[in-house]
Structure 1
Amino acid sequence: MAFRSTKRGIAVGAATSLAMGALALIGTGVAGADSTSITWNDYYTTFTRTVSNATPAAGETITVTTTFKRTDSKVETITSVSDTHAPCLTYVPDSATMNGIHFDAVVVPDRDTNPRTGTATITDNTGAWVNKQNVPGPVFSVQYKVGTDCARGTALVTGLDYNGSLGAGYYGYQGPSVTAGKNATTTTIAPVAGAVVGKPIALTATVSGGAVGNPVKFYDDTTVIGQGTLDANGTATLTWTPATAGERPITVEFAGTTLANGSVGNATVSVASGGIGGGTGGTGSLGNLFGS
């Protein structure tokens, strides 16, 4: 995919030869177990961007931090900073800070660019955001909530644009990228009592992390006995007519989707004989196997 070119404005009178190849990417490194960072140079400023969790799940909150560091003797005053992000990342209100101080952000959720991005922008005209050699540079931070509509396993762009006294910098797709992981799921089977050979009884499974309409399969040992679909509560019900008395191993399988990992639930159901004088069957033992 072609991204727009990255360009840094320079002060009037600077040699035009500097305009070619001035942006030098230093590299990408892992800043922690789940975090990731990227550092690059453009003219005489070094930028470092860090995402607190590069592989978040839907519903989680991530923090994106950008540090500016001037490397020559010129003093730059930054007047506006825009953090760019995929539209499925929702800006957390009041999360934008510069040097630890909160600023009201102007948020554009979707600019209809290619690739699509939104922005969260803060501005300051007091001259307080100074980028100066040999002193700590400005640190800009925002937070986003990962939406359920984020594509899973796909790199989502992030970046930065800004304006200052020495020009403007456009790094809207610089990174680091964020890749939303699939939802973790758990499948459980509700206790079953009163199972008798030849008599219908309900089996109910619950899948946490699934979605309405997702299919689940029910098994008696290794034999498929039917399929259900999840409702708004994440449950699926199947009417089962046991054919064999004894301790029956019941399994429910949620195969997973493009948004969620699969998982399996297990239960042992006591089935009584259907003859005269037969028992009523017990609850049996229940268990579940968590999906990855």
Structure 2
Amino acid sequence: MTVSAEPLETLHRSDRPLLMAATLAPLGRGRGDPCHRVTVDGALWRTTLMPSGPVTCRLVQADRYSVLVKAWGAGAGEFLGSVPDLLGEYDTAQDFAPDHPILVEAHRRHPGLRIPRTGRVFESLVPAILEQKVHGIAARASWRRLVTAHGAAAPGPAPDGMRVPPPPEVWRRIPSWEYHRAGVDPKRSRTIVTAAAVADRLEEAVALSRAEAAGRLQTVPGIGPWTAAEVGQRALGDADALSVGDFHLAAVVGWSLLGRPLDDPGMVEYLEPLRPHRYRAIRLLEVSGRAVKPKFGPRTAVTDHRMH
């Protein structure tokens, strides 16, 4: 544990139920994520790189409506100003009216689930690119290795091993062979480097409409609708961002809600009445434990791109 100056802190209070752990869970990239850690006391630790500098934050659910937030680092003050967005304070489900009993019940049981909005586009984009068309285990291992090697030490009393995500200029300078050793094939590494070169333009997506933001992201070669949706879900607080093209999602939606598999066009058609809350419906399936997909064979093998 590395201790620095006293933290800045705030108690975020909402007039609606707030389920912090479930709301922020999609921001983590596996149990070993060096930027996202849940400790045995139930606290959630995160690191981020704000325009004003690096930040380590610790979030604890104080009661059903409140979260205590402490932040260390040069960007702590700026980060505290973003806490309402991070905790989905401006996300509303008032017009969300599903008719499927599973979704109705999940929505009733989890009124505190929100869609977070980190406002950090590039930080959400890099892990999404790493997850393109590869096994999640491999993608998370690549993220862990690259951030650990190239990210800065987390300020404040961060748990051991936590790092601050590298800035775009660092991602641009990582040699191709280091990406290769981290299991990242040339196509994905090239996409990261290309995106890093226009990171300032991509960050402007936070001020654009949903469609404009997705279009801005997809001007980068190698970024398609799936990756743009993954960024929208985390950085932009988009409750409708549906990850079309995901290897499992359409089948999960079909088996969970219809008792049979769906393909992508079938999923899009089936979820159309839930606009603009399609991603919210997916999250409700996940947090309620009702997201299912039967296993028909052995687990997909993890491809080792270091051998290519």
Range class of TM-score, shorter chain: under 0.3
The structure where strand makes up a greater share of residues is 1
Q: Relative contact order: is structure 1 or structure 2 higher (C-alpha 8 Å, sep ≥ 6)?
A: 2
TM-score (norm 1): 0.23
- Larger of the two Rg values belongs to structure: 1
